[in-house]
Amino acid sequence: MSDTHNQEGFRALALTPSTVRTLDRLGFVTPTPIQSEAIPFAMRGRDLIGLAQTGTGKTLAFGLPMLERLAPGQVGLVLAPTRELALQIQETLFSLGLKSALLIGGAPMERQIRQLQNRPSVIVATPGRLEDHLNRRSCDLRRVSIVVLDEADRMLDMGFAPAIARILDQTPTDRQTMLFSATMPDDIAQLAARYLRDPEWVEVARAGSSPDLIEQELLVLSQEDKPAMLGDLLDEHSGTVLVFARTRHGARKLARAVRGFGHSAAELHSDRTLAQRRDALHGFKTGEYRVLVATDIAARGIDVKEITVVINYDVPENPEDYVHRIGRTGRAGASGRAITLSTPEQHGDVRDIEKLLASTLPLSPRSPMSRPAPSHPRVFRSTRRRR
């Protein structure tokens, strides 16, 4: 961030005085690096590729240009991979004064149709539900002038590439398109080449890097010892804790175990209803639940300040997911802590993560086991799968 932006805050970004007053009221004083770099290009109507870690303020990076640039009768469209992220985006846009329609699965279609009929300034949607509305002809994208693809890497990882293509093909060709992602795999580059026009690139952190303010720690132990270790970690660390499990069944089991340890806990995974997900997120934000147990897919959209610790109870399948997981702590300039529990048999998965990070995860002095020595050179394998 430049000295000018530090000195003048959002006033240095050519925003209108009324928008700056709104930001002051909301407590946003100093732009984050992605906001400082992206907003000036977006305000000029340029297509944009923004590469930044999670928790760096990407929603305001596209929300503020939408607030400033959408003319009466024009519509903004934001596509997000999960219901939770879409909900968080809508909340932020609402705080800015933007009227929006929220199109996500698990919510009544009739209510969403009414929102569309009320002529929102922005449509926030998951790709699958938006396609449902397009097929029912309850949504028309011909007035869309700005499109945002948020967490684009996750959307493609979840298999939404065909749906995104069909949706973008129904928007005007002269639209402004902004793509935000934490990583830049080849399929994202191909999508950008097809749908973005001479985009500006803004990268505030190397794709795949982990936040500098997060203290990372690796514990190697047997599978049988992991539940007791989780209980010890929850006792040792105060504040809110986010625990990641690989599967829905694992998340349910862990949430029960955490409650058995005497801690309030909610669970967030694809088997939960929309109402249950909202309750879990709201309760985690307000402190009703101290611990949130989540799977990778459901966890996108968790934008909770001051998460003290992220615990990877299960090592993630995809190395990229490690970056997304630990990015839930250490947000907005705060420090954080990420602890990963690994069995000796998962040393290959740990090395995949370290290959992506280009650094070694520090082994905790209290780790019951040492890091296994590799028996032979290992070639980095991508575990990215279509879901």
**Span 62-85, pLDDT tens digits:** 999 999 999 999 999 999 998 888
* pLDDT given for residue 288 in this prediction: 94
56: in domain:
yes
Whole-number Å distance between alpha carbons of 246 and 240: 20
Instruction: Quote helix, strand, coil % in the chain, to nearest 5.
Output: 45, 20, 40
Whole-number Å distance between alpha carbons of 133 and 109: 8
Q: In this prediction, what percent of the chain has a pLDDT beyond 90? A: 61
Helix ranges restricted to H, the chain:
3-8, 17-26, 33-43, 58-69, 83-96, 109-117, 127-136, 152-157, 161-168, 186-195, 226-236, 248-260, 274-286, 296-299, 319-326, 347-357
* pLDDT given for residue 205 in this prediction: 61
**Span 26-54, pLDDT tens digits:** 888 889 899 999 999 999 999 999 988 66
**Rounded to the nearest 5 degrees, what angle is found at the Cα of 330, between the Cα atoms of 318 and 338?**
50
383: in domain:
no
40: in domain:
yes
* pLDDT given for residue 275 in this prediction: 83
**Span 189-244, pLDDT tens digits:** 999 999 999 999 998 864 445 556 789 999 999 999 999 999 999 999 988 999 99
250 to 254, 268, 281, 293: CA distances (angstroms) = 6, 11, 19, 9
Pair 220, 155 in one domain = no
Of 149-153, 167-171, 355-359, the one with minimum mean pLDDT is: 355-359
Q: Provide the CA 167 distance to its chain's centre, in angstroms.
A: 21
195: in domain:
yes
Pair 194, 218 in one domain = no
Residue 318 lies in domain:
214-357
142: in domain:
yes
- For residue 203, which of 36, 88, 44 has the smallest C-alpha distance? 36
- The number of distinct structural domains making up the chain is 2
Pair 165, 198 in one domain = yes
Pair 190, 271 in one domain = no
* pLDDT given for residue 384 in this prediction: 39
* pLDDT given for residue 387 in this prediction: 33
* pLDDT given for residue 73 in this prediction: 94
Pair 304, 183 in one domain = no
384: in domain:
no
Q: What is the mean pLDDT of residues 265-283?
A: 86
Q: In this prediction, what percent of the chain has a pLDDT beyond 70? A: 88
Pair 119, 51 in one domain = yes
* Three-state DSSP class for residue 29: coil
332: in domain:
yes
- For residue 122, which of 153, 145, 104 has the smallest C-alpha distance? 145
For the purposes of burial, counting CB atoms within 10 Å of the CB of 370, is it exposed (0-12), middle (13-18) or buried (19 or more)?
exposed
Pair 186, 244 in one domain = no
Pair 256, 153 in one domain = no
Q: What is the CATH number of the domain that holds 69?
A: 3.40.50.300
* pLDDT given for residue 11 in this prediction: 87
Residue 163 has pLDDT above 80, yes or no: yes
Pair 17, 163 in one domain = yes
Pair 98, 136 in one domain = yes
Whole-number Å distance between alpha carbons of 142 and 110: 21
Of 39-48, 232-241, 339-348, 366-375, the one with minimum mean pLDDT is: 366-375
How much is the mean pLDDT over the chain? 87
> Under a CB-based contact definition with an 8 Å cutoff, are residues 300 and 277 in contact?
no
Tell me the pTM: 0.71
291-294 sheet: strands from edge to edge = 214-220, 336-342, 307-312, 240-244, 291-294, 265-268
**Span 277-330, pLDDT tens digits:** 888 888 998 889 999 999 886 566 566 667 889 999 999 988 888 887 887 786
pLDDT interval class at 373 (50, 70, 90) = low
Could you tell me the sign of the dihedral formed by the alpha carbons of 178, 180, 185, 188, in that order?
negative
Pair 194, 242 in one domain = no
**Span 112-121, pLDDT tens digits:** 999 999 999 9
| Residue that finishes a domain, picked among 177, 203, 229 | 203
**376 Cβ contact partners less than 8 Å away, ≥ 6 residues apart:** none
Pair 162, 300 in one domain = no
374: in domain:
no
* pLDDT given for residue 128 in this prediction: 96
| Residue that finishes a domain, picked among 203, 226, 243 | 203
